[in-house]
Amino acid sequence: MSACCSGPCSSSTPPPDGRYRKVLWAALFINFLMFGVELASSMAAGSVSLLADSVDFLGDAANYAVSLFVLGMAMAWRSRAAYAKGVVMGAFGLLVLARALWFGLDGHVPHAGTMGVIGFAALAANGAVAAMLYAFRHGDANMRSVWLCTRNDMIGNLAVMLAALGVFGTRAGWPDIVVASIMACLGLWAAREVMRQARAELRAQAATAGVQASSPGVQAPSTDLPVPLPAPVHIIEIRQR
């Protein structure tokens, strides 16, 4: 899978297809809506796996927003946007781990019914987005990666539903905690990689600006070219392997 799942995509400009942009707008709305739904439901049900899955929706919404608003801008703005995204992802990952630890020590048992219903709703939402993106699955790297990320996110929704089944069957909270902890750790890893790549891009741009300032007659290489992406770290991608 492309590393666009956890960082800026490699295309230097947004795809020109107007239909694709409309689909991205719809996907952005659905993912941001489901982020709110899962966040609120995780608090109501006392489920940390729902909270972890909501972070995945937030990350996808950020990717769609970057595709729509940032990729046509200068490289510096793209790098700053990616760094900000990594910070938010990392903060939510730490929050999930903290709540998992708290619930584990407290012996809390989440509401399995709410977990299952919301997990199914999340699966349906990702399925709808994947269906909309299906026509663009053989497009450029940006188009294909967005479709693959959405398709594979559905496996994360299935993991939440399995956690709900485990909670229902065992009458214990450990299945919820185990799934959430794995998702949170992989989310933190993704956040670190996104921030590391963004810092490398910003340093490269600063070095180029220094060369241009010291040697006005020398044309430095453009930093708007895509910087090689780190190894893919998206949670579902790792599971897929």
For the stretch 37-48, pLDDT in tens is 999 999 999 999
Q: Which of 85-94, 154-163, 201-210 has the highest mean pLDDT?
A: 154-163
Predicted confidence (pLDDT) per residue in 170-196, tens digit? 999 999 999 999 888 887 887 888 788
Domain assignment of residue 214, yes or no: no
Domain assignment of residue 3, yes or no: no
**What percent of the chain clears pLDDT 90, i.e. is strictly above it?**
29
**Structural domain span for residue 81:** 11-209+221-240
44's tokens: 């109501």
CB contact at 8 A, 174 and 101: no
Closest CA to 132 of 38, 15, 20: 20
Domain assignment of residue 125, yes or no: yes
DSSP string, 60-122: HHHHHHIIIIITTS-HHHHHHHHHHHHHHHHHHHHHHHHHHHHHHHHT----HHHHHHHHHHH
Position 223 scores a pLDDT of 47
User: How many Cβ atoms sit within 10 Å of the Cβ of residue 73?
Assistant: 14
Domain assignment of residue 1, yes or no: no
Across residues 129-151, what is the average pLDDT? 70
Find the helix or strand (DSSP H, E) in which 139 lies: none
Position 89 scores a pLDDT of 78
Say yes or no to pLDDT of 235 above 80: no
Q: Which of 10-19, 58-67, 88-97, 107-116 has the highest mean pLDDT?
A: 107-116
Across residues 153-165, what is the average pLDDT? 90
Cα dihedral: 45, 49, 51, 56 (round 10)? -150
Closest CA to 92 of 196, 198, 192, 184: 184
Measure the CA–CA gap between 109 and 115, rounded to whole angstroms. Answer: 11
Position 144 scores a pLDDT of 61
**For residue 114, what pLDDT band results from cuts at 50, 70 and 90?**
very high
Encode 44-55: b = buried (16+ Cβ within 10 Å), e = exposed.
ebbbbbbbbbbb
Position 140 scores a pLDDT of 54
Q: Which residue has the higher pLDDT, 53 or 226?
A: 53
Measure the CA–CA gap between 115 and 45, rounded to whole angstroms. Answer: 7
Task: Give the DSSP letter of residue 228.
Answer: P
Domain assignment of residue 215, yes or no: no
Q: Count the domains in the chain.
A: 1
Say yes or no to pLDDT of 232 above 80: no
**What percent of the chain clears pLDDT 70, i.e. is strictly above it?**
72
pTM of the model: 0.69
Measure the CA–CA gap between 8 and 139, rounded to whole angstroms. Answer: 17
Domain assignment of residue 216, yes or no: no
